[in-house]
Amino acid sequence: SVSPPTVIAETTTAVVTTAAAPTTSGTTTTASGTVPAAPLGPGHPEAASVALEYLGIPYRWGGASPSTGFDCSGLVMYVYARLGIPLPHQSEAQYGYGTPVPRDQLLPGDLVFFDELSHVGIYIGNGEMVHAPQTGDVVSITPLSQYGGTRYVGARRLP
């Protein structure tokens, strides 16, 4: 008689490394040394267009809706949710998603992080981002250069 075929189940394990820091050379530095960064995909340029729909919405700490207002990570979370990509409502946590992007390779839709990961915006091209800046302000376009120097932490491209 013939034995039934053996089915081998495959499992996939996702590993998120928060100790890795992006550099501008396209490599990632970890505790064990420098390794080439994962290839960058096309990202989500449509996120830049979606984010522009919310210009003028008031800043609201903890906000994640155009009807009540946005904080920086709430805006990013809301925009990407519209694209079917769930993200947490915290910039530090959002930094753990996607692939590091060197600053000279930013594309519209990339997430840009500042101020020790306490601020995030969506890159829209031409050296500018859309973000929810601070209390008393509104969702607006700001040049990345305004957040330059040591304020810039890095960028991520979501798959």
Is 44 among the catalytic positions?
A: no
DSSP 144: G
Is 102 among the catalytic positions?
A: no
Options 44, 119, 156, 157, the catalytic residue: 119
Classify 140 in phi/psi space as left (phi over 0), alpha (psi -120 to 50) or beta: beta
Options 48, 50, 57, 72, the catalytic residue: 72
CB burial class (10 A; 0-12, 13-18, 19+) of residue 19? Answer: exposed
Options 44, 131, 156, 157, the catalytic residue: 131
Residues contacting 5, CB < 8 A, separation 6+: none
HSE, CB side, 13 Å, CA atoms: give it for residue 75: 37
> How many other C-beta atoms lie within 10 A of the C-beta of residue 67?
6
Is 89 among the catalytic positions?
A: no
Beta-sheet pairing, 99-100 with 152-157: antiparallel
Q: Which residues are catalytic?
A: 72, 119, 131
